[in-house]
Amino acid sequence: MGSSLSSESALVLCSSGRCSHSFPLRLSADAARACSAAAMGGALSCQVEGYTTKLTKEAGVASLRLQLLSPRPRTLLLPSCAALALRAANQMGFLAGIGALVAAEEEGGTLLEAVVFGRPNEAFLELMPLEESTLQELYPLGSTADLRLLRSMRFEHYGGHAERLPDGSADGSSAGGDEAASEALPQRSVKAEWLVERLLSLASTVEVQFSAPHVGGEASYEEHLNAEQVQTWLASAGLRAELR
């Protein structure tokens, strides 16, 4: 998959943005690039089944729902979280992400929910999660993608009581995402606040695992990616990153 770089006209526009003060979910460009380039085993084939679940939307981030077409690795257990790299159809490059296994085979197929990082800040030093409109263009519903599960991370169950969402519905998901994208962000419930903290913790773990190592107690970094290098990498993954 992805034998040649897409032309400029085929790239999905992804304007730069600023990280939310209330939900500063982000990765450094260096860590995200290292995660996307990690080749810890072969890629798994998966299909895009939908987009942001209601709870994830309430938390304030967009996601993909992916069903594995390849056999599930024995190391991927329910429940499980992992750092991952995801490549859209007909692209060369991977993007970094974090994901959770939300259903196993006995529940109708191996289904993961993934947050994908690819939206740069204005300095191109950090990447934030892609918005749902961008996810829909880069990973169309029903399309296939290549998935690398890189490192398992600690999963924590929600310890509170089950809650209803502000609209009175139970936690669920939107297949197409258009309706969810048009709704105003509701006030977060306790469970959504838990998810915010969990996602921030997972992103911090990815940052530590894939950022440049520290040697002898002092930082020993290779040269950081510059803006042009970040744009080139994102273009290889199907994104045309521009300053807003």
pLDDT (mean) for 41-48: 89
Q: Could you report the per-residue pLDDT of 200-220, keeping only the tens digit for each?
A: 999 999 999 998 764 344 443
pLDDT (mean) for 76-88: 81
Inter-residue long-range contacts of 160-163, CB under 8 Å, 24+ positions, other chains counted: 160/190, 160/191, 160/194, 162/191, 163/189, 163/190, 163/191
pLDDT (mean) for 1-13: 61
The strand pairing partners of 153, in sequence order, are 81
Surface-to-core class of residue 36, CB atoms within 10 Å of its CB (0-12 exposed, 13-18 middle, 19+ buried): buried
Contact yes or no for 83/96 (Cβ under 8 A): yes
Q: Could you report the per-residue pLDDT of 116-133, keeping only the tens digit for each?
A: 999 999 999 999 999 999
**What integer pLDDT is reported at residue 106 of this predicted model?**
56
Say which range, 8-22, 97-111, 199-213, has the weakest mean pLDDT: 97-111
Domains of the chain: 8-156+172-242 (2.40.30.30)
